[in-house]
Amino acid sequence: MRADGVFSGGGIKGLAFAGALEAAAEAGYDEWVQVAGTSAGAITAMALAVGYDAQGLRHQLDAFDFSKIADYGTPVVGRAENLLLRRGLTHGKVLHDWIKQLLAAAPRPATRFGELGGRLRVVGTDLAHARMVVFPEDVSLYLDDAGKPLVPDEFPIADAVRISAGYPYFFPPLTLRDAATGKEGVLVDGGVCSAFPIFLFDVPDPKHPTWGFRLFEGPGPVQHDISGVDWPIEMLSAVLETSINALDTLEMKQWGNRTIAIPTGEVPTLKFDLTDQQKEYLYNSGLDTAKQFFAQNPTGENSYRAVPATA
């Protein structure tokens, strides 16, 4: 069966998406027509767009050493240096390079959006211009070095996904020159604007369902640790998690009927040195939650109150 898929933000907890996609495949959804995502969800959506299946995605996630993503450079001094010079604790290069490697090793390798035939949309945030940026279409809001509007089909997929996954203050923002102001945009994690953009593919006459895959802190009580030398990052993380969870509570009233809400327990968003036990927990949480969801035979009714013809 065919479906569109939308994946939420969630940092390292995005490992749970591999399990959820395995359950979706078992339910018969083996062709993803359009995919979109924010942050970790952008990486998952990108992987599907270039041909990875659930097992292929899990293999890539298991094979990569995520502890390398926290590329601080020189301990302590390096972090302060990065904040002053790069506006983020890390260099962000390892994350960017890994995204490029995923694209290069894919069953259907691609580097630019035009190669994907409109299958992928990625959400970012431009803090300097106070707006959500949806790649690739919003690329035309920015200029190239010659002062001409950027062309959506020619924009690098890896750059858009790196922007969407660029957690503020942890990863440095990327910049693009705004066409209207002539000033640099400060482009960071899409979760600041829309952590779960399930609305992107809604139309009055859907031909197939859109299934949303959403990560949330639960079940059970939540406690954010805000202390130590990295307290500004921890506080920002808590601010974003709190606002996202509050917004999701409202959005689930509208979109809960087509959303696989995956609990991620006590796994922190930016804990990149996960144990094998934590990885297995996230995978199984996604797998079990999605199995329960599809066992209920959801209709896929969208925000237009329309039920897809081939749900």
Report the catalytic residues.
Answer: 39, 189
CB within 8 Å of 258: residues ≥ 6 apart: 198, 209, 210, 211, 212, 298, 300, 301, 302
Q: How many CB atoms lie within 10 A of CB 242?
A: 13
Burial class (CB in 10 A: 0-12, 13-18, 19+), 108: exposed
Residue type, 295: A
Query: Which DSSP helix (H) or strand (E) runs through 231?
Result: helix 231-255
CB within 8 Å of 254: residues ≥ 6 apart: 303
Q: How many CB atoms lie within 10 A of CB 15?
A: 28
